[in-house]
Structure 1
Amino acid sequence: MTSAYRYHRQTILKGFGEEGQQKLTAAKVLVIGAGGLGIPVLTYLNAMGVGTLGIVDKDHIALSNLHRQVLYTENMVGQSKAEFAKKQLESQNSNTQIVAYKTFLDTSNALEIISNYDVVVDATDNFPTRYLINDACILLKKPFVYGALHGFEGQVSVFNYENGPTYRCLFPTMPKADEVPNCNEHGVLGILPGIVGNLQALETIKVITGIGAVLSGSLLLYDGLKQHFQKMKFELNPKNLTITDLMHSYAFDCEVQGKTMAAANITDLLKDNTISFLDVRTTAEYAENHLKNSTNIPLDELAVKAQDLNLSQVTYLICQSGIRSQKAAIVLQELFPEKDFIQVEGGMNKIDTYANTH
């Protein structure tokens, strides 16, 4: 079956045609995150004939992902998202070059990875990575397509498109850890990432092919319960285009004078059975996967149950991505100002110690 026949239904579209298809074939798109937003983006860009797709994700498939991350199946639980997504996408369209990066995007690899692509799609779920993506794209002069979820609502925009407004023009400063909602705590309706992710895929197609009006300088707001769309305009602040390098760190600005520890540095601690971790995720998350030497008190119960903790030693705080552990540090530092609390950066997402979990 020829490629011409495969894409016939879109190449006969007036205003798109063979020229649009050729632009897709030549395009290289990097999708950062292979979760709820990334799956629809990857699936449709792959089906429509984008020539090269990069996938950045170090996470592993969990049973709790399946209600919204519809590319994955039950027998794939525990496997690498990037690897399995690559395999599924290659079976969907063998003409696409799929590149899997089994890593999280950080300051050490962002510029190197992003430099190989024409368009970046932000399919992440945290503010630090979004600010990192923004700054790297400005330095490399790459547009990036943004999507975000909150409750039953979603947001979509395109930043740094033809020197247009940036993410920092809309959100000048990163919120503090205790101001940030988290889908692990507040949930997400399974279908909503599909809707928002498809809108991101559409904006990506528009950026590549030049059809339609790109959402540059406009934030599209979607209310799923009311099926209501609205747009909010925002302007370019020229100073946001003048950065010359990435920041040293994109971690949350936490007001607690507590310490942090990189997830990669806890291997030795895991061998010491006298050291325990306080896991502040929900009981369901904890039951699915946790460190052996850990105690679980969900964040929303911490203030009430904190008096039951054994604080004779340094307390190591852990959650899924590092957001709730920072909130926990704020709560505990206020209750026990003389004690030391160490937050594990990146949480369970960045711990590759499956032999030490159950």
Structure 2
Amino acid sequence: MTRDELQRYSRQIMLPQLGTTGQERIRSARVLVMGAGGLGSPVLLYLAAAGVGTLGIVDDDVVDATNLQRQVIHATSDIGRSKVTSAAEKVRALNPEVEVVEHHGRLTSANALEVLADYDLVVDGTDNFPTRYLVSDAAEILGMPCVWGAIFQFAGQVAVFDAAAGPTYRDVFPEPPAPGTVPSCAEGGVVGVLPGMVGTAMANEAIKVVTGIGRSLLGRLVVLDALDFSWREITVKPDPDREPVTELIDYDAWCGVPAAQAAHAAGGMISVGELSTLLADRAAGRTDFDLLDVREPGEHEIVSIDGARLVPLGRLVAGDVELDRNRDLIIHCRTDVRSRQARDLLVAAGHPSVRVVRGGVLAWVAEVEPWKATY
């Protein structure tokens, strides 16, 4: 190690569990970080600061104003830029000795094995189920460990997966949830500091895995409740009956994404332009219908469509809302994921006329009332 390296990492090197041997392992490590968002931000910053030799970054998104509340690797000046470009720039500024490899675009079954094969460890901070299963399966095929984390509202989870020595993501979550049943952070919200806490824990696990020190979270899944700040631990084990993964599949299809997209394109959808016309007709007495907003109260406070009645999806699921079956219903949410779920519930309950606003309130603001805030 050079004099500058010994000085830069001296506070780590003096740790008896780490020493120069551990620091050299960190310097030689090649770590792929999936996602440069809420979880990827602290993971990238702390692994770069720790001196990881090579950091790969995978993301296909651009920085949006709504990201800045939690994705601390990006700044206001980065809005509209590629997240990979923005994150790579910050990592290089923090530690010029780190080699940064930029992977622009989506990880798919066609490129996953090739991308992951260049690394020793993958850290998965993605927010969608197809990619989580893809990363886990690719890591299993390649025989590499995976540090995984997830967040939602005030809750977070962290685990280490490794098919060679313990469970994988598939062992803990054998089947993906039905499309639309698990809201994303964009739909359900997330407190800004949560990905910092969870992402830092993920970075800690990554350092332990590449150095071999301590007891990793392999075989354990920890759950954080940030509201009362409690951590609990769940023991997880490999499923002895699960067939080993030997090839990658169509993960969108397996997770029901095409079916969800087909439902989106099917009947029962109206545009925000059509809704605007219908609202004008309703105000003039030429038609009548109920416009339901199935988001949460906090979302409704940020932005709403005039004339909409707030009926959170959870109340519809619980069946504690009285609705007139003789009235036409039009439903909107932030996009249209929860609206379509609400439509299915109401149609099953006997409502004959239920339509969904395509694109939800985001489309409404973009096309009808652009002066309103979005989130």
TM-score normalised by L of structure 2: 0.73
For 1:166-205, what per-residue CA distance to the aligned partner results, in whole angstroms no more than 9, with x for missing partners? 1111111111023212211221111110000000000000
Q: Percent identity?
A: 40
- 2:127 counterpart SS class: coil
| Per-residue CA distance 1:245-271 (angstroms, 9 max, x = gap) | 112233433796872799xxxxxxxxx
**Distance change in 2, residues 1:137/1:328 (3 Å):** farther
Closer/same/farther in 2, CA of residues 307 and 338 from structure 1, 3 Å limit? closer
Does the 8 Å contact 1:161/1:216 carry over to 2?
A: no
Partner-residue secondary structure (3-state), 2:238 = coil
Between the aligned partners of 1:183 and 1:145, the Cα distance in structure 2 is: 20
Deviation at 1:70, TM superposition (A): 1.1
Stretches of structure 2 that go unaligned for 5 or more consecutive residues are 266-272, 275-293, 317-322, 361-369, 371-375
Deviations 1:266-310 (A, max 9, x none): xxxxxxx99xxxxx99789999xxxxxxxx999958x99x9476x
Amino acid at match of 1:13: L
Of 164-173 and 250-259, deviating more is: 250-259
Q: Which residue of 2 aligns with 1:178?
A: 180
**Any conservation in 2 of the 1:37–1:123 contact (CA below 8 Å)?**
yes
CA distance in structure 2 between the partners assigned to 1:286 and 1:113 by the alignment: 41
Q: In the alignment, what sits opposite 1:13?
A: 15
Q: Is the 8 A contact 2:328 2:353 kept in 1?
A: no
* Residue deviations 1:219-267 (CA, integer Å, cap 9, x gap): 11112122211111021114446122112233433796872799xxxxx
Deviates more, 1:102-111 or 1:324-333: 324-333
Aligned to 2:83: 81
- Aligned counterpart, 1:104: 106
User: 2: CA distance between counterparts of 1:228 and 1:337?
Assistant: 46
Using the alignment, how far apart are the partners of 1:57 and 1:258 within structure 2? 22
**1:120 is paired with a residue of what secondary structure?**
strand
Aligned to 2:41: 39
CA contact (8 A) 2:172 2:236 kept: yes
Residue 213 of structure 2: aligned partner:
211
CA separation in 2, counterparts of 1:111 and 1:336?
48
What SS is found at the alignment partner of 1:177? coil
C-alpha distance in structure 2 between counterparts of 1:15 and 1:257, whole Å: 49
Partner in structure 2 of residue 350 of structure 1: none
**Residue 92 (structure 2) pairs with residue 55 (structure 1):** no
The question of 1:166 aligning with 2:175 is answered no
Which residue of the other structure, out of 145, 148, 155, is the alignment partner of 2:147? 145
Aligned to 1:245: 247
- Given the superposition, is the C-alpha separation of residues 297 and 93 from structure 1 closer, same or farther in structure 2, using an over 3 Å criterion? farther
| C-alpha deviation, 1:18, in angstroms | 0.5
AA aligned to 1:165 is: P
| Residue-by-residue CA offset, 1:99-119 (whole Å, 9 max, x unaligned) | 111112222221111111111
Paired with 1:285 and 1:177, the residues of 2 have a C-alpha distance of 26
SS in 1 for 2:252: coil
Structure 1 range deviating more: 154-163 or 326-335: 326-335
8 A contact 1:114–1:137 mirrored in 2: yes
Q: Which stretch shows the higher mean deviation, 174-183 or 248-257?
A: 248-257
Judge conservation of contact 1:258–1:329 (CA < 8 Å) in 2.
no
Query: Which residue does 2:279 correspond to in 1?
Result: none
CA contact (8 A) 1:258 1:340 kept: no
Residue 132 (structure 1) aligned with residue 158 (structure 2)? no
Could you say which residue in structure 1 is the equivalent of 2:268?
none
Closer, same or farther: CA 255–81 of 1 in aligned 2, 3 Å: closer
Q: Is the 8 A contact 1:255 1:330 kept in 2?
A: no
1:189 counterpart = 2:191? yes
Residue by residue, what CA displacement relative to the aligned partner does 1:142-182 show, whole Å, maximum 9, x if unpaired? 11111111221211100116431111111111110232122
User: Which deviations, in whole Å up to 9, do the C-alpha atoms of 1:3-58 show, x marking residues without a partner?
Assistant: 11111110111010011011111111111111110000000000000010011111
Of structures 1 and 2, the larger Rg is shown by 2
1:297-356 CA-to-partner distances (Å, cap 9, x unmatched) read 99958x99x9476xxxxxxx9977x95586477469768999999x99xx9xxxxxxxxx
Please give the alpha-carbon distance, in whole angstroms, between the structure 1 residues aligned to 2:112 and 2:347. Answer: 33
Structure 2 distance, partners of 1:198, 1:169, is 24
TM-superposition CA deviations, 1:71-114 (whole Å, max 9, x none): 11111111111001001110111110101111122222211111
Q: Give RMSD over aligned pairs.
A: 4.1
**Distance of 2:119 and 2:217 partners within structure 1:** 20
SS in 1 for 2:251: coil
The amino acid that maps onto 2:57 is I
8 Å CA contact retained: 1:57, 1:103: yes
**Residue aligned with 1:121, SS:** strand
Q: SS of the counterpart of 2:180?
A: helix
Q: How far 1:65 sits from its partner (Å)?
A: 0.9
Q: Is the alpha carbon distance of 1:239 and 1:247 closer, same or farther for their aligned partners in structure 2, counting shifts above 3 Å?
A: farther
Corresponding residue SS for 1:2: helix
The 1:3/1:329 distance shift into structure 2, 3 A limit, reads farther
1:75 alignment partner, SS class: helix
Q: Which amino acid in structure 1 is aligned with residue 109 of structure 2?
A: T
